[in-house]
Amino acid sequence: MADSIRTFCRLCEAGCGLTATVEHGRLTRLRADRDHPVTKGFACGKGLRAVEVHDDPDRVRRPQRRVGDTFVSVTWDEAFADIAERLEAVIARHGPRSVGLYLGNPNAFNALGGAMGVSFTAALGSDRLFSATTQDCANKYTVAELLYGTMKAHPIPDLERTDFLLWIGSNVRVSKSSFLSVANPLQALRRVRQRGGRVVFVDPLQIEPDVGETLQLRPDSDPYLLAAMLHEIHRTVGFRPGVFEGRIDGLDEVAAFVTPYSPEAVADVVGLPAGTIAALARDFAAAERASIHASTGLNMGRQGALAYWLVQMLLLATGNLDQPGGNYFATGGLAKPRASADRTAASFEQSTWGPFRRTVGMLPGALLSDLVEDSAEPLRALVVLAGNPVLSMGGGEQLADAMRSLDLLVSIDLYRNATGELAHYVLPATDQFEREDLNTFVQGVQGVPFVQWTPRVVEPDAEQRQEWQIFGGLLEAMGRRPPLPLDTADPMALLDGALAPSGVSIAALRQAGGILPLAEPGPGGSLERLGVEGVLNLVPDALRPALERGHALFRELDGEPADGFKLITRRTKNTINSWLQNLPSAVADDGEPNPLWMNPRDGDRLGVAPGDRVRISNDYGAIEAGIRFDPRLRVGVVAMTHGFGNASTSGMTRARDRPGVNVNALAPHGPGTFDPVGGMSHVTGIPVDVRPLARAT
Ligand SMILES: Nc1nc2c(c(=O)[nH]1)N[C@H]1C(S)=C(S)[C@@H](COP(=O)(O)OP(=O)(O)OC[C@H]3O[C@@H](n4cnc5c(=O)[nH]c(N)nc54)[C@H](O)[C@@H]3O)O[C@H]1N2
Ligand SMILES: Nc1nc2c(c(=O)[nH]1)N[C@H]1C(S)=C(S)[C@@H](COP(=O)(O)OP(=O)(O)OC[C@H]3O[C@@H](n4cnc5c(=O)[nH]c(N)nc54)[C@H](O)[C@@H]3O)O[C@H]1N2
Ligand code: SF4
Ligand SMILES: [Mo]
């Protein structure tokens, strides 16, 4: 007997509806949900292949304990008792703050998991939290908090009405983007074009030429392109905030900040002709309805907070915020908690490595290995929840060594991944099909808002447990009270409070078959609906260091040699960060798991051809890879995919057989490398040296 169960994909923010076929209690097939009112039968190959992860013989199905260089299966009770004892010992010796938690990306798609991890850490008395957020989007949370007073305020482009869409740092076809949840976003961009609207991509890689032109800027220069646009707009038509007139304070300071950045002044740093920048600015200002979407390409530069703030300033200064066809704050199904934001200089923490500001409670990930090695108040135990910092963060072997040196490293995961390989314990988590869930993360950034609940599609086939049960079990073993007692009958009901203002409840969702649409009043008053009232201070004190640093880094970029290479990321259609690496599809079948991509003109300059091997190095590390050409890349820019580098990952046997290299061995980390305001690591536009090795035969 086959059952069809409605569920949704939790790999990326598109959140595609899926139909799962279950036969004799086993998940046998996934299909796109054609009857889904919003995602309407859209799904990609990765999402449909999640069934291969679910069934992967390499999945961790029982708790594992390290014994020497190998791992043995133990019972949950044994694991809990031993981990509890080790945690108590670490706390007794070094204090509660010696215990930390790292939250990986899949927590975004797990309604209870991450929250329970944070509660666990708090219950132990620690505030040492790290997450993929500071590799990804911390700058956006920071700007939302500083500018709008709530971390949840992220104005999305009104794709169905805009005349002019600036699409910055997002390879929409491959990744489906971030902080904008639209089923089939490439199709949505095509519709803008078909309607007669204009789409301009800002990216070192040419993006979708059939949809719009790409301004192929130099990586890590977005703040200056945006500043120059504001400069030109101010010089020509002036700032016209429209409905925000009288509701913003500090526009003159914005003008003062952009004064030095005329299109001519930034042209070399940005790598675009001054005339092109000026025309872009004037066209943007002249468009009836203009909008912007900026994603990780902008976030991951050294100044993600400054760049994202300038995006907001462009929208405000041209009267495109909260306007039809501009950007607006989309409705979400979950109440936005509004802790009063500290926007003063006092919101920075002082440390041995200089001041920094936490974002969503997270410490800068770039300091992870320093905190382990710090003698004053070192991190001695780390729980990694659905993450793989050893491959996803800068540091390479140094970070791996720091992880190895911990008194206790616990990984809660589907696989014994590269981080789990170094752990004392690997604890098996249920996957997306083995737990009930809700699409919490995308609330407030959906083009068409809806709340979706999914039942557990199948029971775990062995000893996998949900994260809330794992943290609860650990706390009980330590004689402490879990925030969610282990006998809780309906843990999902915990979300009812946050859902209530939207008139939604878990019970109503269950009854409705999973999906409840939300009314979307759209632009016009959308900021007020978030609870944001009064005058917006455009230049809060906590942001000022980002402006000052912006001036300093401009001088640094301006002084750089013009012929050096800059390394960026290239996501591929078959991988999600590091975690689909064990599937046969993760590696292109041409013998090179993770090549270095470059423009053929750079190949000529270096005297290398496709297949030749090169050494890529900088102050942080050196790796080797085979060359592939891509004429769509800007000259001087090279690209690799992150998440490879499993040569020693014994728990992912197929990934280990074709490991590729870990590009994050070249990523800056440590003091001075991260954005003190936005918390982001420096992930894109990394200076590297590329040298030919042996010639391919
Ligand atoms: N150079 C470079 N580095 C980057 C990036 C880049 O563009 N360039 N991108 C950055 C970005 S955007 C991100 S988000 C980070 C990602 O960084 P991380 O989140 O640290 O790494 P992932 O590879 O996503 O690892 C996720 C892990 O979660 C596990 N997992 C999946 N589902 C579940 C679940 O339901 N429960 C549990 N417990 N585990 C689960 C997977 O098996 C996998 O091992 O990487 C960042 N690093
Ligand atoms: N197939 C696949 N899909 C994914 C993921 C994956 O690993 N694989 N990861 C998921 C995750 S965790 C995330 S956060 C989202 C990310 O989704 P997006 O933010 O859309 O990320 P990408 O598609 O990698 O696009 C980043 C773009 O930025 C460009 N870029 C690089 N440096 C710069 C720069 O300095 N300035 C500008 N303007 N552009 C630059 C790159 O060339 C690239 O085209 O994708 C999600 N979806
Ligand atoms: S686009 Fe994203 S959400 Fe949709 S099926 Fe693919 S991976 Fe899953
Ligand atoms: Mo991400």
CATH number, domain of 7, equals 3.30.200.210
Q: Which tens digit of pLDDT belongs to each residue from 428-442? A: 999 999 999 999 999
State the distance from the centre of ligand 2 to the C-alpha of 572, rounded, in angstroms. Answer: 10
> Which tokens is 296 given?
């990780």
State the distance from the centre of ligand 3 to the C-alpha of 371, rounded, in angstroms. Answer: 35
**Average pLDDT of the residues of the chain:** 96
349 assigned to some structural domain: no
Q: Which amino acid is at 633?
A: L
Q: Which amino acid is at 653?
A: T
Q: Which mutation among 9, 12, 172, 229 tests ligand 2's pocket best, with the greatest number of atoms within 8 A of CB?
A: 12
Q: What are the start-end ranges of the E strands in 121-226?
A: 128-131, 156-157, 164-168, 198-202, 213-215
Specify the pLDDT at position 339: 63
- Tell whether ligand 1 has an atom less than 6 A from the beta carbon of residue 482: no
Residue 375 has pLDDT above 90, yes or no: no
- Tell whether ligand 2 has an atom less than 6 A from the beta carbon of residue 413: no
State the distance from the centre of ligand 1 to the C-alpha of 381, rounded, in angstroms. Answer: 20
- Tell whether ligand 1 has an atom less than 6 A from the beta carbon of residue 681: no
17 assigned to some structural domain: yes
Residue 675: which of 246, 364, 400 has the closest Cα?
364
* Of 55, 73, 89, the domain-final residue: 55
**What does the alpha-carbon distance between residue 248 and residue 257 come to, in Å, rounded to a whole number?**
16
Instruction: Report the 10 Å Cβ neighbour count for 53.
Output: 21
* Of 543, 578, 611, the domain-final residue: 543
Q: Which tens digit of pLDDT belongs to each residue from 400-458? A: 999 999 999 999 999 999 999 999 999 999 999 999 999 999 999 999 999 999 999 99
Ligand nearest to the CA of 295: 2
360 phi-psi bin (left φ>0, alpha ψ -120 to 50, beta other): left
pTM: 0.98
Do residue 492 and residue 616 come from a single domain?
A: no
Do residue 143 and residue 127 come from a single domain?
A: no
**What does the alpha-carbon distance between residue 351 and residue 542 come to, in Å, rounded to a whole number?**
17
**Is the distance from CB of 334 to CB of 440 less than 8 angstroms?**
yes
């391919």: which residue's tokens?
Answer: 696
Do residue 578 and residue 686 come from a single domain?
A: yes
State the distance from the centre of ligand 3 to the C-alpha of 415, rounded, in angstroms. Answer: 20
Do residue 109 and residue 227 come from a single domain?
A: no
**What does the alpha-carbon distance between residue 646 and residue 42 come to, in Å, rounded to a whole number?**
32
697 assigned to some structural domain: no
DSSP element (H, E) containing 689: strand 686-692
Q: Which mutation among 7, 10, 13, 16 tests ligand 3's pocket best, with the greatest number of atoms within 8 A of CB?
A: 16
DSSP element (H, E) containing 84: helix 76-94
Give the 3-state DSSP-derived string for 413-450, with helices as H, strands as E and coil as C.
ECCCCCCHHHCCEEEEECCHHHCCEECCCCCCCECCCE
Q: Which tens digit of pLDDT belongs to each residue from 332-364? A: 999 876 667 899 999 999 999 999 999 999 999
Do residue 168 and residue 264 come from a single domain?
A: yes
Q: Which tens digit of pLDDT belongs to each residue from 17-70? A: 999 999 999 999 999 999 999 999 999 999 999 999 999 999 999 999 999 999
State the distance from the centre of ligand 3 to the C-alpha of 50, rounded, in angstroms. Answer: 10
> Which tokens is 494 given?
């915990």
> DSSP label at 127?
-
**What does the alpha-carbon distance between residue 464 and residue 458 come to, in Å, rounded to a whole number?**
12
**Which CATH number characterizes residue 394's domain?**
3.40.50.740
> Which tokens is 162 given?
């805009």
> Which tokens is 64 given?
């594992």
Atom of ligand 3 nearest to the CA of 48: 5
The C-alpha angle with vertex 492 and arms to 335 and 57, in degrees rounded to 5, equals 120
Ligand nearest to the CA of 576: 2
> Which tokens is 8 given?
């949704």
State the distance from the centre of ligand 4 to the C-alpha of 291, rounded, in angstroms. Answer: 23
> DSSP label at 148?
I
State the distance from the centre of ligand 2 to the C-alpha of 89, rounded, in angstroms. Answer: 42
What b/e readout covers 148-169, taking b as 16+ CB neighbours within 10 angstroms?
bbbbbbbbbbbbebbbbbbbbb
343 assigned to some structural domain: no
Do residue 379 and residue 487 come from a single domain?
A: yes
685 assigned to some structural domain: yes
- Tell whether ligand 2 has an atom less than 6 A from the beta carbon of residue 10: no
348 assigned to some structural domain: no
- Tell whether ligand 1 has an atom less than 6 A from the beta carbon of residue 132: yes
- Tell whether ligand 1 has an atom less than 6 A from the beta carbon of residue 134: no
Report every protein residue that has its C-beta within 5 angstroms of ion ligand 4.
136
Do residue 292 and residue 387 come from a single domain?
A: no
Per DSSP, the three-state class of 399 is: helix
DSSP codes joined into one string, 27-60:
EEEEEE-TT-TTTTT---HHHHTHHHHHH-TTS-
Closest CA to ligand 2's atom 23: 171
Specify the pLDDT at position 603: 98
Do residue 504 and residue 595 come from a single domain?
A: no
Residue 467 domain boundaries: 64-131+356-439+450-517
Specify the pLDDT at position 697: 55
471 assigned to some structural domain: yes
Residue 368: which of 394, 337, 343, 333 has the closest Cα?
394
339 assigned to some structural domain: no
State the distance from the centre of ligand 4 to the C-alpha of 132, rounded, in angstroms. Answer: 7
Closest CA to ligand 1's atom 19: 104
| C-alpha dihedral (249, 252, 254, 255), degrees to nearest 10 | 160
As a whole-number percent, the residues of the chain with pLDDT over 90 amount to 95
Q: Which tens digit of pLDDT belongs to each residue from 612-651? A: 999 999 999 999 999 999 999 999 999 999 999 999 999 9
Q: Which tens digit of pLDDT belongs to each residue from 95-136? A: 999 999 999 999 999 999 999 999 999 999 999 999 999 999
Closest CA to ligand 2's atom 46: 175
Region 249-270: mean pLDDT is: 98
State the distance from the centre of ligand 1 to the C-alpha of 104, rounded, in angstroms. Answer: 5
Those residues with Cβ within 8 angstroms of residue 202's Cβ, 6 or more apart along the chain or in another chain:
166, 167, 168, 169, 214, 215, 217, 222, 225, 297
Ligand nearest to the CA of 167: 2
**Which CATH number characterizes residue 530's domain?**
3.40.228.10
Q: Which amino acid is at 432?
A: Q
Do residue 118 and residue 155 come from a single domain?
A: no
Instruction: Report the 10 Å Cβ neighbour count for 402.
Output: 22
Ligand nearest to the CA of 683: 1
Do residue 500 and residue 566 come from a single domain?
A: no
Q: What's the domain count of the chain?
A: 4
Do residue 534 and residue 593 come from a single domain?
A: no
Per DSSP, the chain holds a count of helices (H) and strands (E) of: 23, 27
- Tell whether ligand 1 has an atom less than 6 A from the beta carbon of residue 301: no
Residues with CB under 6 A from ligand 3: 9, 11-12, 14-16, 43-44, 46-47, 176
Chain centroid offset of residue 409 CA: 23
Do residue 486 and residue 589 come from a single domain?
A: no
